[in-house]
A and B are shown apart, each in its own frame.
Chain A
Amino acid sequence: MKLWFTAAKIAWREARASRLKFLFVLFGVAAGVGALTGVRGFSAAFHEALQREARTLMAADLSIRQFQPASEEQQAVLERYEAQGSVVTEVTETVSMMSADADLPPVLVSVKAIDPAHYPFYGTVRLDPPGTLAGVLTDSSIAVSDDLLVRLNLANGAAVKLGNEEFKVAAVVKTEPDRMTGSLNVGPRVMITREGLDRAGLMTFGSRAAQRYLIKTPPALDLDQAKAELRKVFGEARVATANETHPAITRALDRSTTFLSLVCLIALIVGALGVATAIHAHLQQRLDTIAIMKCIGARSSQIIRIYTLETAMLGLAGGLAGILVGAGVQWVFPLLLSRYFQFEHGMGWNGAFALEGLGVGMLVTLLFTLPPLLSIRQVRPALIFRREMAEARPSWRELVRRQTPAVLCGLLILAGLGAVAAWLAESMRMGLTFIGGLAASLLILAVIAWFLLRFLRIFVTKRAFSLPITWRQGLANLYRPGNHAAAVLVSLGIGVMFTLTIYLIQKSLLSEVAGAAPPNAPNVFIVNVTERERAGLDAILASQPDLPADEKARPRLTPLVAARLTAINGAAPERESLKGFNRRLLGTRQVTWVEKKPDDIAVRQGAWWDEGAQQALVSIDENTAELLGVKVGETVRWEATGRQFDTRVAAIHRVQSVSPGGVPEFIFNRKALEGAPVQFLGTARIAPANVPRLQREVFARYPTITVVNVADVLAIVQDVVDQVSLVVRFISAFAILAGAIILASTVAGTRFRRMREAAVLKTIGARRRRLVGIFSVEFLVLGLVAGVMGSLLATGFTRLLLVRLLDAEFRFDILPNLLTILLTAILAVATGWLASLRVLEQKPLEVLREE
């Protein structure tokens, strides 16, 4: 205890006296911890905001959807949930006919009965005139969508007849959050209270209605666990959590979460790098002090104790400063992004993250201090006597023996970082991948640095006199004893690698996310189009103003054929193996044919067919294929209007875009569906303001065709995707900036050792310009080599992460790599200059006298 006390006293005195130098180290730790806690806190808040958006699309946290009212047993379970703090509301959706006056034919409408006191839990139903559902809906009033007003030639306040009763149209429904997750949305929307539904008498025995139970859960409830439990009770139902409302959003959430934890990890490693370089440079300058202490009777263990405490103090102080930085980051990020999206609960400062950051900061600091700390043992006190004298060359065995602690330390550091990484990412695999990549990169960089320095030495010696003196000196500086070129190369290279990795991953992620919600996705669907109406409708669509210029986003009529799957490889599919909602796969479905592969379809297995193929072929969505147990090359039998036909499974696909009509589970080639009766589904991207006119125009010519407007739903999805992109961009820009700063401090850390060198050169007549030249050559070579190696390693590492962890495609792009090399060289030379400014200004005697 007393020993530690004495050590602490000496450590404190030491730290106090060299405050300025310590700021460097502090800065490294603070940057690392700040990046870690800031990014972590911010991404947690962001993730929460995203989930809120996802909940908006469902209007709840959990949804149960089935085609019959809840049984008594099911009711009991829902009541239990209510008793535990959840709120449950029931939504009934059905179709019916509505009429206004005798001149116009009645219209098929989709009726949605809700309890305005609860629905919607999340998001809002926008009405015109502005108001709330609770304020508008009564037993005898309803809200309807604008296309219904067009069809029945009505205005707000008119009376309509639904079922047996008359209702007043009290408002127009402009947007409805959960439109995409509802069902039976074939006709114009009619919103009604549950009492109104009863009054209309629509729910007689045998009427087809979908029941949705929307649940708002208390925050502590584990949604996935609840889902699993509800699934057991609601056997026939589709139970979904808000996180899986939509495949595009689910993937965006997954990817962004993984990406953000990757960035946290990288922030950690880059911060650790800053700490390691700073501590290393610090102890390097303490060699004399250590030797003196040994002379006057200090044991190695005592000195190690002193410097361990000093490092711990640094880690603590840096960590605390880092927490402040992190809090600042959490505070500033939302301000910067507030124009784009809202954080409802604000960004609470998270004490747990701060403590974690502090702990991680100290752990990493101590881990990285281990090797220089242990090398204290190697410091010979005789150093202060015979500094310039050549050391006896140790035997090979002695060299290995001396390296053993360093190797053990290296392993310990890797293991420590791996544990932190796995913990941060909550994934063992991620931790391992990360550490594997780091270890391999370190090794490669060290080997290359060794060879490079060897080569330079031979090169400079061989052509000593054909090189200009500036180059000769600058290059020679790199391999001179006491220059830590190898160490700087390795840490600079690692820093460049991680920083570029963030950029590359961000880029590939953004292109995927953008592909998931193309800005030109259709926002109008036209159903019930027959072969007879096709040409006329085509003409109407083509005449719409402001159509997207993009050929792929032009209005399109997709052929639909009603078909039913009857056999897989000759055997009837096992109905029993398909639970609840998935049984719909065996019912009659609308399927389509496509000759050329659409861009938003990715083939996961097998191959797409050639145009005009004469064999009947089908491609199946990957989830569906898994449910049905079908593989590429197998045969599936179908029935369409009484005709049986076989198709070979040519491909398994994944749909990458948003399509409010649902994911096409089966896609056929033309040959397969030849001869079957066809209906067409029209899709178009129309400026939202023009949609009502299109609805009127189509209705005037083809009263049986329905135009469905999903512009508002699409806007929500686009919003989520935009937010993901924005935050991903923002956080990676921050991480890249932090990386650059830490890299700069790595270079600047070499400043102290060049003081004496500069002084000697000046004494023997070198001008300042020559010194600048020599330093520039040195830094340029360092920057270029680190840039080249870092960018090559980043490409490899990105590939590994994308393919193994993010399940995404990797595309090589030369431009960011070239740019990185250039920027690293500029950064190295610029910070080298800046750091050397004082060295250059100093009078040589000031430096030499200190010897």
Chain B
Amino acid sequence: MSSPILALAGVTKSIDTGTHRVDILRGIDLEIRPGEFVAIMGASGSGKSTLLGLLAGLDSPTMGTIQLDGEDIARLAEDRLADIRGRKIGFVFQSYQLIPTLTAEENVLLPAELAGENGRDTLDRARALLDRVGLSERRDHYPVQLSGGEQQRVALARAFMRRPPLLLADEPTGNLDSTNGRQVLELLLNLNRDEHTTLVLVTHDRELAGYASRIITLKDGLIVSDERPGTPA
């Protein structure tokens, strides 16, 4: 078996609000292998978004280690984390998070440009991705000029721009109606397959989770189940 792309050991996260202490994650051990499609489920407040934030190096755990590709990212400096995010992780958010002042194409280009890539190849890749999500006609539109589904498709294109080995998605269809949601999901799965990405997806939608090869359920900051629906028990 290949070595895990993500390995968490004894990860806890607490927040001291001044008046009291809130334990959001209370000891998570988890390994995710390359190529897996993992759905993280749980009720609101179970800690799933926090877990995703930790996996992405957007936040640091109170205790424990998080290894991404064999490197512990739990205690890295912010700039180093930014580099890792830019190189290894693609993001899809529930509320798209496109930069409102950039056009669709510029939003897709941005991760590459931030990494110092801005040749012809880069532009071609961005256009190919926009084409792939069916938006080549709308590449000069600003986010406000796009529908929710279109914005999320732009966000998908942006997430794959630098061919990250790991894609993290936080309720990617949560803000969309079922038609648009299905379209985005299909695109996400197709791109994931074509680009050989590991996909970690946070959702509370059973149907969406049904596409995953592995479903992890959180409750009160603990993993309560870890199933592989396709594999016999």
Q: Flag if A392 contacts B58 (CB, 8 Å).
A: no
In the complex, 6 of the A-B residue pairs with CB atoms within 8 angstroms, ordered by the A residue number, are A10-B110, A13-B103, A16-B101, A380-B59, A390-B15, A393-B18
Which of chain B's residues 85-122 have a Cβ closer than 8 Å to chain A? 85-87, 91, 93, 95, 97-103, 106, 110-111, 113-116, 118
Of A294-302, A601-609, A617-625, A765-773, the one contacting chain B is A294-302
Q: Digit string of A344-386 for contact with B (CB within 8 Å is 1, else 0)? A: 0000000000000000000000000000000001001110111
B102: which of A14, A384, A393 is its contact (CB, 8 Å)?
A: A14
CB-CB nearest in chain B for A385: B53
Q: Flag if B15 contacts A300 (CB, 8 Å).
A: no
Q: Please indicate the chain B residues that have their CB under 8 angstroms from the CB of A153 in the complex.
A: none
CB-CB nearest in chain B for A306: B114
Q: Flag if B95 contacts A293 (CB, 8 Å).
A: no
Does B78 make an interface contact (CB < 8 A)?
Answer: yes
Complex-state Cα separation, A75 to B52, whole angstroms: 95
Complex-state Cα separation, A384 to B59, whole angstroms: 12
B79: which of A16, A301, A380, A851 is its contact (CB, 8 Å)?
A: A301
Q: Flag if A389 contacts B15 (CB, 8 Å).
A: yes
Complex-state Cα separation, A377 to B111, whole angstroms: 19
Complex-state Cα separation, A292 to B49, whole angstroms: 16
Q: Please indicate the chain A residues that have their CB under 8 angstroms from the CB of B95 in the complex.
A: 851
Complex-state Cα separation, A614 to B111, whole angstroms: 95
**When A293-B99, A393-B16 are in contact, do A300 and B114 touch as well, CB less than 8 Å?**
no
B residues lining the A interface (CB < 8 Å): 15-18, 49-50, 52-53, 56, 58-59, 78-79, 82-83, 85-87, 91, 93, 95, 97-103, 106, 110-111, 113-116, 118, 142, 144, 158, 162, 170
Does A3 make an interface contact (CB < 8 A)?
Answer: yes
Q: Flag if B58 contacts A381 (CB, 8 Å).
A: yes
Complex-state Cα separation, A386 to B142, whole angstroms: 25
A residues lining the B interface (CB < 8 Å): 2-3, 6, 9-10, 13-14, 16-18, 288-289, 292-302, 377, 380-382, 384-386, 389-393, 850-851
Q: Flag if A3 contacts B116 (CB, 8 Å).
A: yes
Q: Please indicate the chain A residues that have their CB under 8 angstroms from the CB of B53 in the complex.
A: 382, 385-386
CB-CB nearest in chain B for A17: B101
Q: Flag if A293 contacts B114 (CB, 8 Å).
A: yes
CB-CB nearest in chain B for A393: B18
CB-CB nearest in chain A for B13: A392
Q: Please indicate the chain B residues that have their CB under 8 angstroms from the CB of A10 in the complex.
A: 102, 110, 113
Complex-state Cα separation, A3 to B16, whole angstroms: 39
Q: Flag if A13 contacts B102 (CB, 8 Å).
A: yes
Complex-state Cα separation, A2 to B118, whole angstroms: 10
Q: Please indicate the chain B residues that have their CB under 8 angstroms from the CB of A17 in the complex.
A: 100-103, 142
CB-CB nearest in chain B for A390: B17
**When A385-B49, A386-B53 are in contact, do A297 and B111 touch as well, CB less than 8 Å?**
yes
Smallest distance from the beta carbon of A296 to chain B beta carbons, Å?
A: 5
Complex-state Cα separation, A6 to B91, whole angstroms: 22
Q: Flag if A385 contacts B83 (CB, 8 Å).
A: no
**When A295-B85, A295-B91, A297-B87 are in contact, do A382 and B102 touch as well, CB less than 8 Å?**
no
Smallest distance from the beta carbon of A753 to chain B beta carbons, Å?
A: 16
Smallest distance from the beta carbon of A579 to chain B beta carbons, Å?
A: 72
Complex-state Cα separation, A296 to B98, whole angstroms: 11
Q: Flag if B101 contacts A296 (CB, 8 Å).
A: no
Q: A300-B79, A385-B170, A390-B17 are in contact. List 13 more A-B contacts (CB 8 A).
A: A17-B103, A289-B100, A292-B98, A293-B114, A296-B111, A297-B83, A297-B85, A298-B114, A300-B78, A385-B58, A389-B15, A392-B17, A393-B17
The 5 A-B pairs of least Cβ separation, nearest first, read A297-B86, A17-B101, A393-B18, A382-B58, A382-B59
**When A17-B142, A385-B53 are in contact, do A2 and B85 touch as well, CB less than 8 Å?**
no
Which one of B17, B18, B86 has the highest number of Cβ atoms from chain A below 10 Å of its Cβ? Answer: B86
Q: Please indicate the chain B residues that have their CB under 8 angstroms from the CB of A391 in the complex.
A: 15
A295: which of B16, B56, B118 is its contact (CB, 8 Å)?
A: B56
Smallest distance from the beta carbon of B21 to chain A beta carbons, Å?
A: 9
Q: Flag if B100 contacts A296 (CB, 8 Å).
A: no
Q: Please indicate the chain B residues that have their CB under 8 angstroms from the CB of A2 in the complex.
A: 116
Q: Flag if A289 contacts B17 (CB, 8 Å).
A: no
Q: Please indicate the chain A residues that have their CB under 8 angstroms from the CB of B99 in the complex.
A: 14, 289, 292-293
A298: which of B82, B87, B162 is its contact (CB, 8 Å)?
A: B82
**When A13-B106, A17-B142, A295-B85 are in contact, do A385 and B52 touch as well, CB less than 8 Å?**
yes
Q: Flag if B115 contacts A297 (CB, 8 Å).
A: yes
Q: Flag if A9 contacts B113 (CB, 8 Å).
A: yes
Complex-state Cα separation, A289 to B143, whole angstroms: 13
Smallest distance from the beta carbon of A741 to chain B beta carbons, Å?
A: 27
Q: Please indicate the chain B residues that have their CB under 8 angstroms from the CB of A292 in the complex.
A: 97-99
Complex-state Cα separation, A385 to B48, whole angstroms: 11
CB-CB nearest in chain A for B86: A297
Q: Please indicate the chain A residues that have their CB under 8 angstroms from the CB of B87 in the complex.
A: 297
Q: Please indicate the chain B residues that have their CB under 8 angstroms from the CB of A16 in the complex.
A: 101
Q: Flag if A14 contacts B101 (CB, 8 Å).
A: yes
Complex-state Cα separation, A390 to B142, whole angstroms: 32
Q: Please indicate the chain A residues that have their CB under 8 angstroms from the CB of B16 in the complex.
A: 392-393
Complex-state Cα separation, A382 to B97, whole angstroms: 12
Q: Please indicate the chain B residues that have their CB under 8 angstroms from the CB of A389 in the complex.
A: 15
Complex-state Cα separation, A292 to B85, whole angstroms: 11
Q: Please indicate the chain A residues that have their CB under 8 angstroms from the CB of B78 in the complex.
A: 299-300, 377
Smallest distance from the beta carbon of A301 to chain B beta carbons, Å?
A: 7
Q: Flag if A296 contacts B110 (CB, 8 Å).
A: yes
**When A380-B58, A381-B58, A390-B17 are in contact, do A6 and B102 touch as well, CB less than 8 Å?**
no
Q: Please indicate the chain A residues that have their CB under 8 angstroms from the CB of B56 in the complex.
A: 295
Q: Please indicate the chain B residues that have their CB under 8 angstroms from the CB of A302 in the complex.
A: 114
Q: Please indicate the chain B residues that have their CB under 8 angstroms from the CB of A298 in the complex.
A: 82, 86, 114
Q: Please indicate the chain A residues that have their CB under 8 angstroms from the CB of B113 in the complex.
A: 6, 9-10
Q: Flag if A296 contacts B158 (CB, 8 Å).
A: yes
Q: Flag if A293 contacts B100 (CB, 8 Å).
A: no
Complex-state Cα separation, A382 to B15, whole angstroms: 14
Q: Please indicate the chain B residues that have their CB under 8 angstroms from the CB of A390 in the complex.
A: 15, 17
Q: Please indicate the chain A residues that have their CB under 8 angstroms from the CB of B142 in the complex.
A: 17
Smallest distance from the beta carbon of B185 to chain A beta carbons, Å?
A: 21
Smallest distance from the beta carbon of B221 to chain A beta carbons, Å?
A: 14
